[in-house]
């Protein structure tokens, strides 16, 4: 069925469900399994360089913890990630570009529940990924 499954994981409740679904699909398909987490660009705010470094370190630690959690979920099913990366930038763009670069044929991600007004106006991450991805995308609620 699928040969290479990419799971987008940000720690939200829906992405945790997507992690479970993606791992099960990879297991059933005997597919290669990859993981991506994306740190958005840090907001610009006044502060000294120490505050910026502290915030960057906090984000790095958060995403490293998420990746360890995801590995544990995969290991419970006897799988491991072929690659697991943390990227920085616009979330939808990074997921789309990474999926194409690693030639996956399925992206599994959670439904982002951002601000209703902004998500309706600009489109949410999940909507953008489904619109522009080169492959099948499964959105998990």
Q: Pairing relation of β-strands 4-8 and 32-39? A: parallel
CA distance 50 to 86: 23
The pLDDT, as a whole number, for residue 49 is 67
Delimit the domains of the chain by residue range: 4-140
Residue-level pLDDT at 52: 72
Is 104:6 a contact under the CB 8 Å cutoff? yes
Task: Identify the pLDDT of residue 40.
Answer: 83
Q: Which CATH architecture has domain 4-140?
A: 3-Layer(aba) Sandwich (3.40)
pLDDT at 70: 97
Phi-psi region of 28 (alpha: psi -120 to 50; beta: other; left: phi over 0): alpha
Task: For residue 133, give every residue at least 6 positions away whose Cβ sits within 8 Å of its Cβ, in sequence order, or none.
Answer: 95, 96, 99, 107
Instruction: Give 93's contacts (C-beta < 8 A, 6+ positions apart).
Output: none
Tell me what pLDDT residue 42 has: 60
Question: Token pair for residue 16?
Answer: 């945790």
Q: How far is residue 82's CA from residue 32's CA, in Å, rounded to a whole number?
A: 6
Q: What is the mean pLDDT of each run of 10 residues along the chain (141 residues)?
A: 96 95 98 95 62 82 95 97 95 97 97 55 81 97 89
């Amino acid at each position: 069925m699928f040969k290479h499954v990419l799971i987008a994981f940000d720690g939200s409740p829906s992405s945790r469900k997507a992690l479970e679904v993606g791992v099960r699909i990879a297991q059933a398909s005997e597919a290669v399994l990859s993981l991506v987490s994306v740190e958005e660009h840090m907001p610009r705010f006044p502060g000294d360089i120490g505050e910026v470094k502290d915030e960057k370190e906090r984000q790095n630690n958060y995403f490293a913890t998420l990746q360890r959690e995801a590995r544990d979920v995969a290991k419970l099913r006897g799988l491991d990630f072929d690659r697991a990366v943390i990227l920085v930038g616009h979330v939808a763009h990074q997921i789309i570009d990474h999926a194409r670069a690693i030639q996956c044929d399925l992206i599994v991600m959670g439904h982002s529940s951002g601000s209703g007004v902004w998500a309706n106006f600009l489109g949410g991450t999940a909507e953008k990924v489904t619109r522009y991805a080169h492959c099948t995308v499964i959105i998990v609620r």
